[in-house]
Each structure stands twice: as C-alpha cells, then as structure tokens.
Structure 1
Amino acid sequence: MSRPVFYNCPPSGNCYKVRLFAALAGVALDIRDVDLAAGAHKTPDFTALNPWQQVPVLQDGETVIWDSQAILVYLAEKYGKTEWWPAAPAARARVVEWLSVSVNEIQHGPADARLVKKFDYSLRYDDAVAASARTLSIIDRHLADHAWLAGDGPTLADCAAYPYLALAPEGGIALDAYPALRLWLARVEALPGYISVDA
C-alpha cells in the first residue's frame, strides 16, 4: 500500500499540524518539501493540485485534499484513529470547535504575529498581539480545568492548536502568563512519537 504524498513546507505551522499528527498516530506519509521561495507552489502542476497555491496538500491516489484541518480529518478517518477523531456526535463536535479556533482565533493572533516577526508579512502586528492576549487567556482558562482541549486524551484538536501556540514566542508573544497552557504544551511534547517543527 503506497503512502499518501504530503506536500510540505518545514516552517509552516499548518504543515507541522499534519506531520505532528502523523508522527503521534503512526501514519506513514511520503513527505515532499515544496520550495516556496522558488515559486514551486505557483507552477501549473502544483496549481492543479491546489488552486489556492498553498501548502499543505495531501495526495492519496486520486484523492487530493488541501487545508490542514481537512487533511487531519481525512487521515484520522482513513486510518481508523478514533481516539484522535471520536465518532460520538458530542465528542466530535468538541474537536471541531477547536479545529475552528485553530484557523480563526489562533491564526489571527499568535500565527499572524509570527508571520510578521519571522517572515516579514505585511499584517497589523498590534492587532495580532491584542488578539493573542484574548485568545491565550481563554485557552489558558480552559486548560486550567482540562488536561486536553477536547476530551480525556489527545485528539485532532490538540494537533491543530499546538503548532502556532508552541511557536508563539517566534512572533514575540510570551507565554509566561499562561501556566496551564504551558503545562499542556509539555503534555503534548511528552506524547510518544512527538516531533518538533524542525524534525
């Protein structure tokens, strides 16, 4: 059985979400780095895979999926990783809540701040800092009462949220004021199979 091909850019938090889940869940991927600096994501071949000309992209035979959240769900479903993607409606909805938070509140807070500081994106840094303070405070309060974001154990919710929260200091967003969040980061990092963004 051939491995799904995963088009990746190592520094991307959205790509890291998928690599992290695959490592934790024991899903083998054929990882192929895309040279964004050289414009490889704008070639006709890549555009045929993803018209948005962005990574990540997963190609599994005739199936092509772009968007990190969709890729996480696809892999968990395909490989039967029900501990990461529960079948019960309420449990699944709690995971989806955090998938949404990861591409909204976390993206427009810590992730945008990192884009400005690390990659010189033209975004409003002050807005990202303000959004980060609100988002991190809410997440810290949640984690003060919950070991994991969406259940009794790690789920896709944790894989989706972890990268840009862990990388927040690269955007000048300090995590000192969020002790429950920092303990959760440590729990993720202690999971068997964990890999860093640089792995």
Structure 2
Amino acid sequence: MKLHHHPLSGHAHRAHLFLSLVGQAHEVSHVDLLAGAHKRPEFLRLNRFGQVPVLDDDGTIVADSNAIMVYVAKKLGRTDWLPDDPAEAAAVQRWLSVAAGELAHGPAAARLVAVFGAKRDAEEVTARAHALLQVLDAELADRAWIAIARPTLADVALYSYVGRAPEGHVDLAGYANVNAWLRRVEALPGFVPFPPAVADPATTAA
C-alpha cells in the first residue's frame, strides 16, 4: 500500500496512524502541498478534490481519511476496529460523522486559522471547538473510549485534531477526560505521533 500524505495534515495523520496501529506495511509518499503538487493533473487523477490523503492499494485508489480507514479495516477483517455488530457499527459511524463535521469545523478549522492563516472567523471556530470538547469530555466521563468499550476507528478519527487543538489556540486544560483519552490513544501499540505544525499555508486535507 502507498499512502499519499503530508505530515502537517491531521487527515493524513489519521490514515497513517490507523495503518500503523493495525500493523499494515505501507509506503508514505510525501505530497508537496506548498509547491501545489496536490493540484497537478497526476494527483488530480487520484483525487479530483486535490486533497490528501489518498491510498493506493495496488491500483485500488481510496481518497478521504475516513474512507481509507474503513477500507483498510474491511480488507484486513479488523472487526475489533470496525465492528460488525449493528449497534457498535452505528456508534462508530456516528463519530466518523462528527470527525467530518464538528471536528473539521471546530478544532481543525481553528488550527487552520492560527497556523496556516485560513480566512475564517477565528472566534466562531474556537467556540465550535470548545462546544465539541465539552461533548467529548462528557462522553468520556464514564468510559475509556469514545464509541464503545474498546478503541475503534472513532478514536483514531478524532485524535489528531483534538490532540493538536492547542495549535489553534484552543486550550485543553479544562477537559480532564479528553486529556486522559489522548494519553490512552498515545499508549496504543503502533502509535505514531502527529508532528507539530509549522507555517505552511498550502496545507489542505480531505
């Protein structure tokens, strides 16, 4: 498998992290976003949206970080990470939707504003980030993992941008349960860290 990736993209980190957690060997191909590599014809043939990450599994192309995780879990039969049980599967899907919605428009957007100079309302996205963190902290008050009683795709989908929320000036100090959960994710075998951001306004993610 080859993962088209950028180290400062939380979405790309999400896919890279899951591949590592399940022990799937893969090549990481750096996409130079600053040079516009994601908008060149050869990359747009992989993903017309011009966004990372993209997975190439011997010619099977999968774009979008959540889709990549689902593909890998299904291909490897990893029902520990993506359950077959209907209620558990629905619980995981709920949080994949949150990752694509509230997380993207909250902590991820705040980071884009603060680090990469995105033209968004900083006050609005910061408020959204804290609203999400309050929900996550309440959800984690009586369980260790976000969706069910063990780590799943839900935890991987949320980790990167929650963990890097302070880069968007979103303080995590008031969220004890969230911080404990972050440490649990980081203790999982195969965990790979998300590098600190540096100014790179071309960063884009899917």
What is the TM-score normalised by the length of structure 1?
A: 0.96
SS at match of 1:31: strand
SS at match of 2:80: coil
Asked if residue 68 in structure 1 is aligned to residue 65 in structure 2, the reply is yes
SS at match of 2:55: strand
Number of the residue aligned with 1:167: 164
Asked if residue 32 in structure 1 is aligned to residue 29 in structure 2, the reply is yes
Q: What is the CA-CA distance between 1:30 and the residue it aligns to?
A: 1.2
- Determine which of 72, 93, 96 is the counterpart of 2:93: 96
- Determine which of 106, 110, 122 is the counterpart of 1:125: 122
Give 1 or 2: higher helix fraction: 1
Q: What is the CA-CA distance between 1:198 and the residue it aligns to?
A: 2.6
Number of the residue aligned with 2:173: 176
Any residues of structure 2 matched to 1:103-118 within 5 Å, and which?
A: 103-118=100-115
Structure 1 ranges of 4+ moved more than 4 A: none
Q: Which runs of 5+ in 2 are unaligned?
A: 197-206
CA distances 1:101-132 after superposition (whole Å, capped 9, x unpaired): 01111111110000001111111111101101
**Structure 1 Cα separation of the partners of residues 124 and 62 of structure 2:** 31
CA distances 1:14-59 after superposition (whole Å, capped 9, x unpaired): 0000111111111111110100011111111111111001111111
**Structure 2 Cα separation of the partners of residues 14 and 122 of structure 1:** 20
**Structure 1 Cα separation of the partners of residues 195 and 120 of structure 2:** 25
Number of the residue aligned with 1:18: 15
Figure out how many residues of one structure are paired with residues of the other and give that number.
Answer: 196
- In structure 2, give the amino acid aligned to 1:33: H
- In structure 2, give the amino acid aligned to 1:76: A
Number of the residue aligned with 2:81: 84
What is the TM-score normalised by the length of structure 2?
A: 0.93
Number of the residue aligned with 2:184: 187
Q: What is the CA-CA distance between 1:97 and the residue it aligns to?
A: 0.4
**Higher RCO by CA contacts (8 Å cutoff, separation 6 or greater):** 2
**Structure 1 Cα separation of the partners of residues 22 and 150 of structure 2:** 13
**Structure 2 Cα separation of the partners of residues 92 and 23 of structure 1:** 22
SS at match of 1:65: strand
Q: What is the CA-CA distance between 1:60 and the residue it aligns to?
A: 1.2
**Structure 2 Cα separation of the partners of residues 136 and 188 of structure 1:** 16
RMSD: 1.0
